[in-house]
Amino acid sequence: MTEFWKMSATQVAGLVRAREVSAREVAEDTLQRLDAVNPQINAIVESRPDHVRLQAERIDRMLAQGQDPGPLAGVPVTVKINADEAGFVTSNGSRLQRDLLAERNSPAVDNLLRAGALLVGRSNSPTFALRWFTSNLLHGKTINPRDRRLTPGGSSGGGAAGVAAGIGHIALGSDIGGSLRYPAYACGIQGLRPSFGRVPAYNQSSPERGIGPQLMSSTGPMARSVQDLRLALAAMSMPDPRDPWHAPLPLIGKPMPKRAALCLRPDGIEIAAEVEAALRDSASRLESAGWTVVEVADTPSLEELAEIQQQLWLGDGFAKLEDAVRRDGDPGAWAVVEGVRSAVETMPRDVVANALLRRATAARIWNLFFEDYAVLLLPVSTELPFADDLDLQGDCGFQRVWNAQLPMRAFPAIGLPGLAVTTGFVNGTPVGVQLVAARFREDLCLDAGADIEARGQPIAAVSPVPADVLVRR
């Protein structure tokens, strides 16, 4: 049998649409790959083979009847456990939601199905999607298939680990502070956080979210190539009336000069030597592709954005979150609650209103910045991917993680798109860079990301390293 799991989503869709292979063949290959590697990494916590086969048979019937099943015809996709998928539990990694059965799909899931995707399983995340590590008391721990000593990232860690290991070509995840970009970084794949309003979102199974999370959370894809991200974004972005924030704007904006700003240390942050090397290498790749790269000493303040993000995220509803985490009992989620408690306790009563005012000012400043530059090239994280569960190593461990993630925590505050592009490995450990652009200019991030990607090594799906084998780093 052909190993379709090694191919790109673009290749698989092309073969299925041309009827050179059947969607059923792709489904069987994916299910075999899931059975072979998922027990070692626990990336996918629920899969129903017969359900996958029924989806494949529908696609094949459409093709046989001369109908177009969509641009993702037969492409295996995984869905994060915090997104509604009809007939599945939206557990969000919490024992409190183990019976929360979704009756309808979320908009992005509906869009993927309309595009012909095969939904092959539910991907793991930390409890309430709170960490940059992936474990919970309901589904257990997800392992990074490249090195089990490293975090697979979070909160979309299961999806990233699955894509890296060949379980699904695309993973649907979400990002409010790095939850798509960091798992991609940690697992050595590509991850796109779309602009606020780009991909419609709604969970019928759950109460309406607070206004801060509504304005910052973004649903998006992870994949092994930038082209696959582009394909997935187009499919996921189709309008849906259930999301009042969705903006049905073109995926390609006005032409801009290929001019990138490189900032190694925004706000004066310290970065690992390996991270700096990846940034400078990426700048060189862009220049070889015809970009003008301008190294800037600083940018508008990331600390300001990160503070706004924290206030909008936690300034309203922290008491309810704390209560839910206490009742669930997950130690990782509790570490986050304890780690941010002091900041929350000092917030004034009108913190959300003030944060919204500051958000408008900050967005204006960054809009002007991106009048001069198509993209900003900066770190994903100030460090290489962390050892797993570093945030559980006392307050010092938590603060080290929190501080390192500033370049990801900042931009959701004003809804900007961000792309994590893997650039290679340092003694087996993935490393990469982040590209940020103006709101609704994912196309610029993807253009620059494709140029960086094209001048490096293609990403291949990997087989997980057994538990008794240590990776030399």
Selecting among 179, 205, 282, 381, the annotated active-site residue is 179
Cα atoms in the Cβ-side hemisphere of radius 13 Å centred on 396: 1
Token output for 399: 């603060």
Determine if the peptide bond prior to 155 is cis (ω within 30°): yes
The per-type count for the chain, helices as H runs and strands as E runs, is 16, 13
**CA nearest neighbour of 221 among 450, 458, 452, 446:** 446
**CA nearest neighbour of 12 among 103, 156, 117:** 117
Per-residue pLDDT of the chain (473 residues; tens, 9 = 90+): 699 999 999 999 999 999 999 999 999 999 999 999 999 999 999 999 999 999 999 999 999 999 999 999 999 999 999 999 999 999 999 999 999 999 999 999 999 999 999 999 999 999 999 999 999 999 999 999 999 999 999 999 999 999 999 999 999 999 999 999 999 999 999 999 999 999 999 999 999 999 999 999 999 999 999 999 999 999 999 999 999 999 999 999 999 999 999 999 999 999 999 999 999 999 999 999 999 999 999 999 999 999 999 999 999 999 999 999 999 999 999 999 999 999 999 999 999 999 999 999 999 999 999 999 999 999 999 999 999 999 999 999 999 999 999 999 999 999 999 999 999 999 999 999 999 999 999 999 999 999 999 999 999 999 997 776 544 33
pTM: 0.97
Residue 463: per-residue pLDDT: 96
Q: Where are the domains of the chain?
A: 4-454
Whether residue 155 lies in the annotated active site: yes
Four-way CATH pick for 4-454: 3.90.1300.10, 3.30.70.1560, 2.40.160.50, 2.40.110.10: 3.90.1300.10
Whether residue 22 lies in the annotated active site: no
Selecting among 8, 47, 80, 217, the annotated active-site residue is 80
Whether residue 282 lies in the annotated active site: no
Which residues fall within 8 angstroms of residue 139, CB to CB, at 6 or more apart?
42, 45, 81, 91, 93, 124
Token output for 230: 């582009």
Selecting among 155, 218, 282, 381, the annotated active-site residue is 155
Which residues fall within 8 angstroms of residue 459, CB to CB, at 6 or more apart?
188, 189, 190, 224, 225, 422
Read out DSSP for 211-244?
HHHHHH-EEEEEESSHHHHHHHHHHHTS--TT-T
Residue 396: per-residue pLDDT: 97
